[in-house]
Structure 1
Amino acid sequence: MYVLGVSSNIKNLKDASVEFVSELFYKLFKEMYDSIPKYDLIPETSAERWFREMLLHEYSRCAAEQSSLTEMVMKSLGEKRISSLPQRE
């Protein structure tokens, strides 16, 4: 079954749930990192910023894959029936 072109396949649903929860964790981890006081003794390079961003994304993805929050989001999205939107088989 398709709802506006999005498959209700369980794998796609799990991938979307992991991606959603991963973004939540990323924002949380970034806020936590930004709350640490910074000092100008050793200036930060753009490569270090890039590496830190990639590292935070990877941490958040790993945390989302192991989190029960992902299962709750997946269950919540899987139970939704959108009857007012056009559906196609």
Structure 2
Amino acid sequence: MFVSGILSNIKSLRDASVEFVGDLFYKIFKEMYESIPKYDLIPETTAEKWFREMLLREYSKHAAEQSQLTDLVLKSLGEKVFSNFPQRE
């Protein structure tokens, strides 16, 4: 029972780390996209903006799942969280 609780906490912590790093990547990707010069020759529709936002979210989520930055965040958070657990002998 103790081990399953720890495993679920590790999974929750991993999910939170992926989400945090994904949000960071999303902001970076969005700023990169917005730095590209735009022209009004073909106006952008609302659907295109919506699709681009969803696409950037998926790219950032995928990048975060494969990133070593996620592992570093997980390790940093894990040391603080799991140091409070009672040690079993």
Q: Which category describes the TM-score, using the shorter chain as reference length?
A: 0.7 to 0.9
> 1:28-53: CA deviations, max 9, x gaps?
00000000000000000000000000
Q: 2: distance between equivalents of 1:80 and 1:28?
A: 27
SS of the aligned residue for 1:37 comes to coil
Per the alignment, residue 30 of structure 1 pairs with: 30
Q: 1:5-84 maps to which residues of 2 (within 5 A)?
A: 9-81=9-81
Q: 2: distance between equivalents of 1:51 and 1:74?
A: 30
Q: 2: distance between equivalents of 1:80 and 1:33?
A: 36
Give unmatched runs, 5+ long, in structure 1: 2-7, 82-89
Letter in 1 for 2:26: Y
TM-score, with structure 2 as normaliser? 0.81
CA RMSD of aligned residues (A): 1.6
CA drift of 1:57 comes to 0.1
Give unmatched runs, 5+ long, in structure 2: 3-7, 82-89
Which structure features the higher share of strand residues?
1
SS of the aligned residue for 1:80 comes to helix
Identity of aligned residues (%): 77
Q: 2: distance between equivalents of 1:11 and 1:31?
A: 30
Q: 1: distance between equivalents of 2:30 and 2:12?
A: 27
**Where do 4+ consecutive residues of structure 1 move more than 6 Å?**
none
Count of residues in correspondence between the two structures:
76
TM-score, with structure 1 as normaliser? 0.81
